[in-house]
Structure 1
Amino acid sequence: MFKKLLLVCVGNICRSPTAEILFRQRLHGRAGVEVASAGLHALAGHPIDPTAAALLCEQGHDPSAHRARQATPSILGAADLILVMERAHLAQIAREVPQVSGKTFLLGRWDDIEVPDPYRQQRFAFEHVYGLMEQGAARWANYIS
């Protein structure tokens, strides 16, 4: 069904790389499934946010290899499924790369929720967002083969 999954947020340093890692863990062992992330206004080349990294490390993940990248039309076009964090991201992608609109959905689609941006907020905000992304990954995993 979906073999190339792309997670998208704004800077590609908090939400989308965390979601990428959560999906990789959840989909581990599913043959041929690729998971990646990118940002609509990426802080290209930057590592994952230190608070996001700390939460992932506490859960046994290693986010040290992540470097932010821009969600270009070619990167968006190559994905089979694009999951975004907010309705504003859906709208921006629809405006800028309309040909991928049909394969772009909210990560929180099944629960009708958005994943707010924790950037420059306290750890509690990152913990809340982490939980929302775990929930979204669990719900979407049923549809990714």
Structure 2
Amino acid sequence: MSDMKHVLFVCTGNTCRSPMAEGLFRQAVSGRPEYEVSSAGVAASRGTPCNPETAAFLKKRNAALTSFGSRQVSDAILSKATHVFAMTRGHLQTLESLFPEHVDKFYLVCEFVESPQRESDKDVPDPIGLGRRAYEEVGNMFDAAIPTIVAYIDQTWKPKAG
């Protein structure tokens, strides 16, 4: 049996939110070799570096990504993933529509944030072009979600045979 947990974060272009989530999640599970973490986008170009604001945020948090390049989500990437966390309901709907065979591993990041927010506000907002503060607010959302995501995976993960 494989005990590996392959966590994938998905946003639009794979340059802001999902790489930020990837860096922060890697930091949260450092020292836990059973975790592999990556990211992709539903409309990503191949090989684009992460947004400079995301890179600066991650560097400040000692969670910088090395050798990062954006990539388009694909069946091959999803086949390897055990848990896929979408930034918005729109991303989740796109994944469900394009890859229905993987629907059992799709989640919305904000489902793991305890908040008084209304159900309709359960998206990680796109910070692109909105300045450093917007990136910090997105980072705060990940700070709230990631411990709950790790606990959820640890409590519910049942490896498949083989």
Report the TM-score range of the alignment, normalised by the length of the smaller protein. over 0.9
- What is aligned with 2:152? 143
Report how far residue 130 of structure 1 moved: 0.9
* Alpha-carbon distance between aligned partners in 2 of 1:119 and 1:44, rounded to the nearest angstrom: 18
Please list, as runs of the form range in 1=range in 2, the aligned pairs for 1:119-130 lying within 5 A after superposition: 119-130=128-139
Give the TM-score normalised by the residue count of structure 2. 0.83
Task: For residues 49-100 of structure 1, give each alpha carbon's deviation from its aligned partner in whole angstroms, at most 9, with x where no partner exists.
Answer: 0011111111122234211011011111221000010011111111111011
Counterpart in the other structure of 2:140: 131
| Change beyond 3 A, Cα 1:88–1:2 | farther
In 1, Cα distance between equivalents of 2:138 and 2:64: 18
Residue type matched to 1:108 in 2? C
**Distance apart, 1:136 and its partner CA:** 1.2
| CA contact 1:3–1:80 (8 Å) conserved in 2 | yes
Supply the distance in 2 between the matched residues of 1:49 and 1:129 (Cα, whole angstroms): 14
Q: Unaligned regions of 5+ residues in structure 2, if any?
A: 114-118, 155-162
Aligned-pair CA distance for 1:117? 0.8
Aligned residue pair count: 145
Q: Identity percentage over the alignment? A: 36
Distance 2:125 2:106 in 1: 18
TM-score by length of 1: 0.93
Asked if residue 80 in structure 1 is aligned to residue 82 in structure 2, the reply is: yes
Structure number with larger C-alpha Rg? 2
